[in-house]
């Protein structure tokens, strides 16, 4: 394939500090006020680059706000069964909270490598590479110097589309090659948030990009997602060891707590006696998807409280289902001063398999010069 290197797009510095819902009479006034405050508190400079909050809005009033700090989805408001806008992603009211130690990657773009790499080591073209360790003995979500903490160059194409770009230097966080990355967020008029990822490199490297949005379809700040009905079209998971690194095998889900081929509540089997659930303190596992053609939903989540349903489409072969087991609610610094306690959100991270560089039987995450990494994921909402 023809090599396409991506140049940094100049940063749009105009803050869209306007009311998000002034044209929607059914929007909740408290939510509106909070979002206006967010816009003001997101104007800052980090590492010498301007940071702001961008707003996408469709013809139905559905709205997503995104900061170019880490490419983070800050809020995502979609209509519930009563046509009231409901914010379904966890986040913070100001940029400072996203920079605190131990922040759980709320809404962030993840790279260079989403999920874990065992002991932060892999071999590529005969050379050994050592990455930053930030998850016990392993590397998680790119390391301590991951894309989630970078200021991305931003271009708001129109009211429904935002382009973010970043150039990762050769050796950054231990990864080889200068990597040019472009991520496009598009909010469609059928209430779908589409995320397109493109990357190229000047040296052979590994790439596995994803987004780490935390969803609660009851509304962010609701205390639990255990009542959510979940379907995942996958006949197997990649089982893990006690440090959550895949063993390299595939484990059939039939007859286990991991079988979501038919809809069931997240809480139905989460407390079962199961070694894999023990390792993850709940669900924190990669599902090997049966299909990943962008046309067939790979997962569906529904809240009976709000009536909101989310369908997930992807071109990726894997899906990390995480049930918020490491959230504690200790810091009451969520949006509007809310706490986000244990299992108060679900993450569905589309991806290639964790630790794939160390397992020849997993789909390759290697990207070579002249090739273009391209993948897409869509979260579609209905009621």
Q: Which of 293, 309, 290, 291 is nearest to 301 (CA)?
A: 309
Q: Which residues contact 244 (CB under 8 A, 6 or more apart)?
A: 116, 135, 138, 279, 280, 284, 354
- From first CA to last CA, the distance across the chain in angstroms is 42
> Residue 210 and residue 115: Cα distance in Å, rounded?
9
pLDDT in tens, 283-341: 999 999 999 998 999 999 999 999 999 999 999 999 999 999 999 999 888 999 999 99
So what's the pLDDT on residue 332? 87
Token pair for 227: 């009542």
| Mean pLDDT over each residue of the chain, to the nearest integer | 91
pLDDT at 41: 80
Q: Is 336 helix (H, G, I), strand (E, B) or coil?
A: helix
**Greater confidence, 174 or 11?**
174
Q: Which residues are catalytic?
A: 212, 349
Radius of gyration over alpha carbons of the chain, in Å?
Answer: 20
pLDDT tens for each residue of 225-279: 999 999 999 999 999 999 999 999 999 999 999 999 999 999 999 999 999 999 9
Looking at per-residue pLDDT, the higher value among 8 and 343 belongs to 343
d(CA 38, CA 20): 11
Mean pLDDT of 71-80: 97
pTM of the model: 0.90
Partner residues linked to 77 by β-bridges: 63, 87
How far apart, in whole angstroms, are the C-alpha atoms of residue 254 and residue 50?
Answer: 50
Q: What is the structure's pLDDT at 331? A: 87
Predicted pLDDT of residue 40: 62
- 92 CB-side CA count, 13 A: 20
Q: How far apart are CA 353 and CA 359, in angstroms?
A: 9
On whether the CB atoms of residues 99 and 228 are closer than 8 A, the answer is no
Which of the four pLDDT bands, split at 50, 70 and 90, describes residue 38? low
| pLDDT average, residue stretch 215-224 | 97
C-alpha–C-alpha distance, residues 206 and 179, integer Å? 10
Measure the CA angle with vertex 293, ends 373 and 193; round to 5°: 75
CB distance 54 to 16 below 8 Å? yes
- Is the pLDDT confidence value at 193 over 90? yes
Q: What is the spatial distance between Cα 185 and Cα 290, in angstroms, rounded to a whole number? A: 26
The token pair that represents 358 in the structure block: 């160390």
Going by pLDDT thresholds of 50, 70 and 90, the confidence category of residue 39 is low
On the question of pLDDT at 216 being above 60, the answer is: yes
């Amino acid at each position: 394939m023809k090599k396409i290197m991506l140049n940094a797009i100049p940063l749009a510095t105009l803050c869209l500090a306007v009311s998000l819902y002034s044209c929607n009479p059914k929007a909740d006034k408290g939510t509106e006020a909070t979002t206006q405050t967010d816009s003001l508190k997101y104007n800052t400079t980090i590492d010498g680059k301007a940071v702001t909050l961008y707003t996408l809005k469709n013809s139905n009033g559905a709205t997503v706000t995104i900061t170019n700090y880490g490419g983070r989805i800050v809020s995502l408001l979609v209509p519930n069964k009563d046509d009231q806008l409901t914010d379904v992603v966890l986040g913070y009211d100001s940029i400072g909270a996203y920079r605190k130690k131990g922040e759980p990657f709320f809404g962030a773009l993840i790279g260079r490598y989403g999920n874990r790499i065992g002991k932060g080591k892999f071999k590529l073209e005969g050379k050994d590479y050592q990455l930053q360790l930030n998850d016990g003995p392993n590397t998680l979500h790119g390391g301590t110097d991951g894309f989630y903490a970078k200021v991305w160059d931003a271009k708001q194409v129109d009211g429904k589309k935002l382009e973010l770009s970043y150039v990762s230097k050769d050796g950054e966080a231990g990864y080889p090659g200068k990597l040019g990355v472009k991520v496009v967020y598009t909010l469609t008029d059928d209430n779908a948030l589409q995320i397109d990822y493109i990357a190229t490199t000047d040296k052979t490297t590994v790439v596995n990009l994803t987004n780490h949005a935390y969803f609660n379809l009851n509304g962010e700040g609701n205390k639990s997602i255990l009542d959510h009905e979940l379907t995942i079209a996958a006949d197997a998971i990649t089982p893990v060891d006690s440090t959550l690194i895949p063993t390299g095998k595939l484990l059939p889900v039939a007859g286990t707590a991991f079988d979501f081929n038919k809809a069931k509540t997240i809480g139905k089997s989460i407390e079962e006696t199961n070694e894999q659930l023990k390792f993850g303190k709940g669900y924190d596992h990669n599902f090997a998807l049966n299909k990943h053609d962008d046309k067939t939903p790979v997962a569906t989540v529904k809240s009976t409280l709000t009536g909101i349903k989310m369908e997930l489409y992807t071109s990726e072969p894997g899906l990390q289902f995480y049930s918020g087991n490491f959230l504690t609610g200790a810091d009451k610094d969520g949006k509007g001063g809310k706490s986000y306690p244990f299992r108060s959100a679900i993450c569905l991270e589309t991806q290639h398999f964790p630790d794939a560089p160390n397992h020849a039987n997993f789909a390759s995450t290697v990207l070579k010069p002249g090739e273009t990494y391209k993948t897409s994921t869509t979260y579609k909402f209905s009621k």
